Structure 1
Amino acid sequence: MRTEVYKNIWYMSKKSVAYAKSAEEGSSDSVVFGCFPPDPLACDRNTFAVAKGSRQHNYVMICPRYFEKTSTNYQEAFKAWVDRRNDIVVGGAVLLHEMLHLRTVVGWDWHATDLGISADEDVTLVDFQKIKNADNYAMFAMEVKTNPKRAKLQVDMTSSKAKSKMARKLLGMRI
């Protein structure tokens, strides 16, 4: 994830500019973030943001709910995750989630969709769905941040256990 997702997002952030006139002003190697006139179909009352991408441009439309319901208290969110596996929605996780929808940013292999719409649903997905669900990556990022010792564990490359096979699959290796 670090090499295929994070580095691509980091590279794009180095070329940031402060202002874009419209969502279409971006290019295939940039993303415009904005509070464009909200699309009532896209920005319903349950939606934080919407990513749209094409070969010509990418943008993330920030919906009113993002400003109303996301937390900026990361320490509280980290504690809730460690103590109770409670997912407090933080702004950074929403933006990571949306970036995973943009194929020109993360590539075809790492592109994710919305298969689950809550942490409770996300954990019940079958393995091949989990690796294509944007929320699971946001939860993974939270787990890595809050549990660094566990995050450093290595994948058993010889085990036939399902979790080892899944880890190797995520790493792009033969199972």
Structure 2
Amino acid sequence: MTAVATALGDLDEDVQGRVLRWAAERFEVKLHTGVRVLDGRDAGVENGSSDGVTEAEIAEEAPAYGHFAELFAKAQPKTDPDKALVAAYWVQVHEGNASWQSQTLNTQLKNLGHAVGNITEAMTSNIRKKPQRIIQLQKSGNSRQGRKTYKVTHEGMVYVQGMLGGGVS
């Protein structure tokens, strides 16, 4: 208990709430807030949300960035999968595209000088995360080089919000 309290002690209240909700969901524990129970079975799941927060609410709370470079600089992604996820978040939330192809992301990243060596591997890494941060919606073409269409999941949006330091309460 002391380790948990120490780990959470330096975090903002919003971030503490997100961490606790994530841990409760991850370990399938119900959080009692005095008003309602927050878990995927009782919390009014909407748009794939398991914490009662909708994707529309995330988009509303997303800080306004005038350019992708501002968002990227704020998030400071270190790994290729995180770079791809931040670019995907930009394309989906700030540009308003419900789905997109990975080439769009790599073009955005190349324009900043942060190209991903293998965008498909970066996307696959985000898909393999549990919970998935990105999902594949469609594939066109028969070969390995076929064009794939993707979407950022609710969990992916929350993850990027965490990178940005913005809170989803």
The structure showing larger relative contact order (alpha-carbon pairs under 8 Å, at least 6 residues apart) is 2
TM-score (norm 1): 0.29
Give the structure with the larger helix fraction.
Answer: 2
